[in-house]
Amino acid sequence: MDRTLELAMDLIRRPSVTPHDAGCQELIAKRLARSGFAIEHLRFGDVENVWARRGTASPLVVFAGHTDVVPPGPLETWTSDPFEPVVRDGRLYGRGAADMKSSIAAFVTAIEDIVAQASGHRGSIGVLLTSDEEGPAVDGTRRVVEWLTEHGVLIDYCVVGEPTSARTLGDTIKNGRRGSLSGRLVVNGIQGHVAYPHLASNPIHALAPALAELVATEWDRGNADFPATSFQASNVRAGTGAENVIPGRLELDFNFRFSTAVTDALLRRRVEETLDRHGVDYEIAWTLSGQPYLTPRGRLVQTARAAVSEVLGIETELSTTGGTSDGRFIAPTGAEVIELGPVNATIHKIDECVAVGDPARLALLYRSLLAKLLL
């Protein structure tokens, strides 16, 4: 069996549901230590993290990823045990196969090949692993980056192994991500009997016109690198469960995925101005999960595109679509950051899988990229 596939399967066997690591990082740390890496185990709160580095010179090329996975969901809906990897019909099945244990396995074997080929490579190689990417993302990469900054470590180039490919391995590289701003809105009313509306105040009715305006608003038109900012309501809660009671309170959760054409401060202001204009009695709590970031078409982007062309024989597209990733914590340090990983069609789904040959092909891709940067 190909050793990258074998390592990916070993990682899948460990049920590392957020925030648990289930021994994945220890397995990787031992492999990297054998290749001459200095290992730092960094625990923040309940989250296990690893920082590993080989060399002290610049440039510092870092592979970043997460060992945690989302819950598998109802086990009976899986064709096979989500934490017992299975190769079936040309695909590797298991929770984390695509997001992102195949990428981590490919990091490791690519690094092992480079070290075996040229133990005196230029610069340094780093690996940053967390078990908190699929969770709150508070004590994971965010905290490790703070620790690195405190210790004077500056990352030059970072490859995040998120599953970015759309149809076939390597067809899409993420060179940026939209920001994420969430709000929890509470609309206050007065509970009462539906037959006596003049004695009550219905928060659903109060919010409806304002919500319609928020949904219809053009927040920006995006730009050359980002699609237009999107507002989405995700949850709404009101009522006592009785059909004859006007509720006294409504809660609405919503989210902006926003481009660099707007700021989170502007979005907050426009939302609150809309609610005020409609006379809504409200309270709102904001959560900024990450600012948008963009890596220009510099050395890392061009090197990655060349590696895809060389190894896979295809041209890759640049994209900033999709959700957030831990790249949002690394990019503000000044590092060039890209995300490059497996096909994302089955991530977070039942029967998550990748093509059985993709872990090995991904390792070849990472090895080519490393060679171009450090050899």
Residues contributing to the annotated binding site: 66, 99, 134, 162, 348
Q: Are 144 and 155 within 8 A, CB to CB? A: no
Task: Given the residues 21, 68, 113, 139, select the one marked as catalytic.
Answer: 68
- Beta-strand pair 245-246/192-193: antiparallel
- Sequence-ordered strand ranges (E) for 157-279: 157-160, 172-174, 176-177, 179-188, 192-193, 230-238, 245-246, 249-258
> Does the annotation mark 133 as catalytic?
yes
> Which of 21, 112, 113, 133 is an active site residue?
133
Question: What values do phi and psi take at 90, rounded to 5?
Answer: 80, 15
Q: Is 150 a catalytic residue?
A: no
Helices (H), ranges, 217-357: 264-277, 299-312, 327-330
Q: Nearest-CA neighbor of 5 among 109, 114, 117?
A: 109
Cis peptide before 100 (omega within 30 of 0): yes
Annotated binding-site positions for Zn(2+): 66, 99, 134, 162, 348
CA distance 329 to 144: 9
Burial per residue of 287-319, b for 16 or more beta-carbon CB atoms within 10 angstroms, e otherwise: eeebbbbbbeeeebbebbbebbeebbeeebebb
| Closest of 324, 327, 291, 323 to residue 65, by C-alpha | 327
Q: Give 149's DSSP letter.
A: H
Active-site residues: which are they?
A: 68, 133
